[in-house]
DNA sequence: ATGTACGCCCGTCAGGTTAG
DNA sequence: CTAACCTGACGGGCGTACAT
């Protein structure tokens, strides 16, 4: 996975990269058998666009990828001189392009682009036993609409253990706080005898609102969790890039020394 | 002990995005 | 088009560190 540098110069390791432009003839920055240490890549400039990634074949490098020694170079701040706004189709209107540039993709989109890899997506719908087994292992509160009263949820493989949930203020109208054994609390609308949620006037509306709030509450929690993961990922990416940068500087330094040595001989 | 600042987490709302 | 989802912003509660 290759990172992306946005307009502000911040690294976005999870941002989807445009299709890479594989250019095998591009010279690496460091070529032991070349006369110059630094090789310009003037021959490829016309194909470069902002956001393009060039895979550079570079043997003997300190950075090795699973694909060999392909390096992904992110091209940024390339001045667009050829295309005016008139040349874009409706889908590429300046506004839309600006939106694409300024809006960071949602965490879900980022994760989808990752192939559903790094951050586990909890199931949306699950049975109470499934949910409770998740509770047991991750301490993630499971929300569901349940009738007021004593609640026991079997959990674990084959339901070996029973978790007891105690409800506070369940006698009051509106809602109850369900307390999970590990200290997690969550809100559950109280069901009346008929199965409807008691809410005074506009029962259906109140029930819908409660459901919406409940879902949004969970969504917010999930969103924050993903955001944390994302930030952690960014921090890891920074560490990796700093190491790579250091290694490249060292490599350049040693090759420069070698070059100067050969020159004086 | 009390007050204050700070950080963290949470629930809610609003508005944008996505999926059907 | 619309319902569902996602996420930034906001305000509040709580715990901790520090000064008084």
Span A65-115, pLDDT tens digits:
333 333 333 333 333 333 333 333 333 333 333 333 334 555 556 655 554
Distance A91 CA to C2 C1' (A): 23
Distance A38 CA to C6 C1' (A): 46
Q: Which nucleotides of C are covered by protein (CB under 7 A)?
A: 5-9
- Of A227, A226, A153, A158, which Cα lies nearest the Cα of A186? A153
In angstroms, the Cα distances linking A207 to A176, A201, A214 are 14, 11, 10
Which helix (H) or strand (E) segment holds residue A148: the answer is: none
Please tell me whether the overall predicted TM-score, pTM, comes out greater than 0.85 for this model: no
Q: Does residue A205 reach within 7 angstroms of strand C, measured from its CB?
A: no
Distance A4 CA to B15 C1' (A): 27
Question: Which of A's residues 124-153 have CB atoms within 7 A of nucleic strand C?
Answer: 124
Q: Which nucleotides of B are covered by protein (CB under 7 A)?
A: 9-14, 16-19
Distance in angstroms (rounded) separating the CA atoms of residues A151 and A142 = 13
Residues in chain A: 265
* Long-range pairs for A107-112: beta carbons < 8 A, 24 or more residues apart: A107/A223, A107/A226, A107/A227, A107/A230, A108/A226, A109/A16, A110/A14, A110/A15, A110/A16, A110/A230, A111/A14, A111/A226
Distance in angstroms (rounded) separating the CA atoms of residues A191 and A198 = 6
Q: Are A215 and A195 in contact (CB under 8 A)?
A: no
pLDDT, tens digit (0-9, with 9 covering 90-100), for A140-170: 333 333 333 333 333 333 332 323 333 333 3
pLDDT, tens digit (0-9, with 9 covering 90-100), for A188-200: 433 333 334 333 4
* Residue ranges near strand B (C-beta within 7 Å): A 99, 103, 105-106, 109, 112, 186-187, 213-214, 216-217, 220-221, 224, 228
- Predicted confidence at residue A106, as pLDDT, reads 58
- Predicted confidence at residue A112, as pLDDT, reads 54
A235: number of Cβ within 10 Å? 11
pLDDT for A2 beyond 80: no
- Of A191, A149, A147, which Cα lies nearest the Cα of A167? A149
pLDDT, tens digit (0-9, with 9 covering 90-100), for A60-70: 444 343 333 33
Task: Please give the DSSP secondary-structure letter assigned to residue A52.
Answer: -
Q: Are A25 and A43 in contact (CB under 8 A)?
A: yes
pLDDT for A236 beyond 50: yes
Return mean pLDDT, chain A. 49
């Amino acid at each position: 996975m290759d990172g992306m540098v946005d307009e502000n110069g911040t690294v976005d390791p999870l941002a989807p990269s445009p299709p890479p432009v594989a250019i095998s003839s591009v010279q690496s920055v460091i070529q032991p058998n070349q006369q110059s240490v630094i090789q310009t890549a003037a021959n490829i400039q016309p194909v470069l666009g902002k956001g393009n990634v060039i895979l550079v074949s570079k043997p003997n490098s300190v950075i090795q990828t699973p694909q060999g020694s392909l390096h992904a170079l992110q091209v940024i701040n390339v001045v667009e001189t050829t295309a005016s706004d008139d040349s874009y189709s409706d889908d590429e209107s300046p506004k839309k392009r600006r939106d694409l540039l300024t809006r960071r993709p949602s965490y879900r989109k980022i994760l989808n682009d990752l192939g559903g890899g790094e951050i586990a997506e909890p199931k949306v719908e699950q049975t109470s036993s499934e949910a409770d087994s998740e509770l047991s292992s991750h301490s993630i509160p499971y929300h569901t609409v349940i009738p007021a009263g004593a609640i026991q949820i079997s959990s674990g493989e084959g339901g070996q253990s029973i978790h007891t949930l105690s409800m506070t203020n369940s006698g009051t109208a509106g809602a109850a706080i369900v307390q999970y054994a590990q200290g997690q609390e969550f809100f559950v609308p109280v069901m009346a005898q008929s199965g409807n949620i008691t809410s005074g006037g506009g029962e259906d509306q109140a029930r819908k609102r409660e459901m919406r709030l409940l879902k949004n509450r969970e969504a917010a929690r999930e969103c924050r969790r993903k955001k944390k993961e994302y930030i952690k990922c960014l921090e890891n990416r920074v560490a990796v890039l700093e190491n790579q940068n250091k290694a490249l500087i060292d490599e350049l330094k040693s090759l420069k020394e070698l070059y100067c040595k050969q020159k004086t001989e």
